[in-house]
Amino acid sequence: MKQIGIVVPEQAITSSILDTKRCLTSANEYLQAKGEQPLFKVDLVGFRKEIRQEGGAVCLTCDKTLDQTEIYDLVIVPAVTGDVMRVTQLNRHYLPWLNNQYKNGAEIASYCVGAFILAGTGLLKGRRCATHWMYAAEFREFYPDTILVDDKIIIEQNGIYSSGGGTSYWNLLMYLMEKFTSRQIVMSLVKHFLLDTERTSQAAFMVFTGQKKHGDALVLSVQEYIEQNYREKINIDQLAETFAIVRRTLERKFKKATHNSIAEYAQRIKIEAAKKAIEGGRKTMHEIMYEVGYSDMKAFRDLFQGITGLTPVAYKNKFNKPISLY
C-alpha cells in the first residue's frame, strides 16, 4: 500500500487538497469494486491538528501532525494563495520536515505556487520546476538557483514533481496515478472527473506583462517605449541613440533586468497585442498581423505558435468563442 501525505499549509487552496484526497479515495473504491485491495492510505498532515482555511470559513482536521508521521511514499504540497513569500514564511514549519521526507526516500510533488514552499527547502536548487505562470518573475527573483520552466504543465526530476497554474494539478495527479497504478484506473478517473489530460503547456494561457520590478529606471523607460510603439519595427541602434546609451550596454542591462533580449521583448509585446485582438474582435488575421507590425503571414504564424503553443487560428478557436450550452 502506498502511503500518501498531503500537507495542509496555511492559506491553502482547499480544493487542491480535497480534490487530491477524493481522487485517491476514488481509485481505492475502483479497485475494491473489482475485488482488489485498496492501494492508497492517505493522511492530511499539518503542523497542528486543525488548520483554518478560506479566511476561517473552512477548518481542515489533519490526520497527523508533523511529529506523528512516518516516511511517506509520496508527499504532496498543495496550491496556496496570497503573498507567496509571506505564505512561505507562514509555512516554515514544513521545510525541515519536507527535507527529511525526501532524504529518507519520499517523492515530493508541489501544485501551482506550492512550488514556493518546496523551493524554500532548498531541494529545487539546480533542478527544473514548474509553477503558475503569473508568479514566474517572483519565483526567479527569490529562487534564482532553480531552473523555472514556466510554460510547462508538469515537470519531474529526481523524484520531485511540480505542476503549472490553476487546475493543472489534476494533470500532475493523473501522471502520478498512472505511475502508481495502471492506465485502466487512470482512464476511469479521467472519465469520472471529466478531465482534459491532453494539456502539456500553459503557454496559451500566459499573459506577458514583462518583468518590471527590477529597479532600473532606464530599462523601465525602454520597456515603456517598446510597449507604446509595438506597431513599429524596433531598431536597437536607434533605441540606444534615443536613450543616449551604448548599444552593448543597453542590451546587457535590458537582458539582466527583464530576462529577455530587446528583440524577444518586442516580439512578446507584439504577440500579446495580437492575442488581445484575436480574443475580442472581428478583424481578420491579416489585419491583426499588419496592426502589430508584421507583413509576412508565415513569420507571424511561426512566432505566434512559438510563443503560445497554438497557431493564430487555433488560438481564435480556443479563446474567441462564446461559452455554449450545447
For 153-208, the pLDDT digits (tens) are: 999 999 999 999 999 999 999 999 999 999 999 999 999 999 988 888 999 899 99
What is the pTM assigned to this prediction? Answer: 0.86
- Are the C-beta atoms of residues 65 and 8 closer than 8 Å to each other? no
If one compares 321 and 259, the residue with the highest pLDDT of the two is 259
If one compares 110 and 282, the residue with the highest pLDDT of the two is 110
Candidates 130, 168, 125; CA nearest to 152 is 130
Nearest-angstrom CA–CA distance, 120 and 182:
33
Query: Is the pLDDT reported for residue 326 higher than 60?
Result: no
Nearest-angstrom CA–CA distance, 70 and 133:
34
Average pLDDT over residues 120-149: 96
Task: Give the CA distances from residue 215 to residues 56, 211, 218, 243, 312, in Å, rounded to whole numbers and listed in that order.
Answer: 37, 10, 9, 17, 35
pLDDT of amino acid 109: 98
Task: Report residue 53 as a C-alpha cell.
Answer: 482555511
Average pLDDT over residues 254-283: 94
Nearest-angstrom CA–CA distance, 267 and 5:
44
Per the prediction, the chain carries an average pLDDT of 94
For 278-306, the pLDDT digits (tens) are: 998 789 999 999 999 999 999 999 999 99
What domains are defined for the chain? 2-205 (3.40.50.880), 217-319 (1.10.10.60)
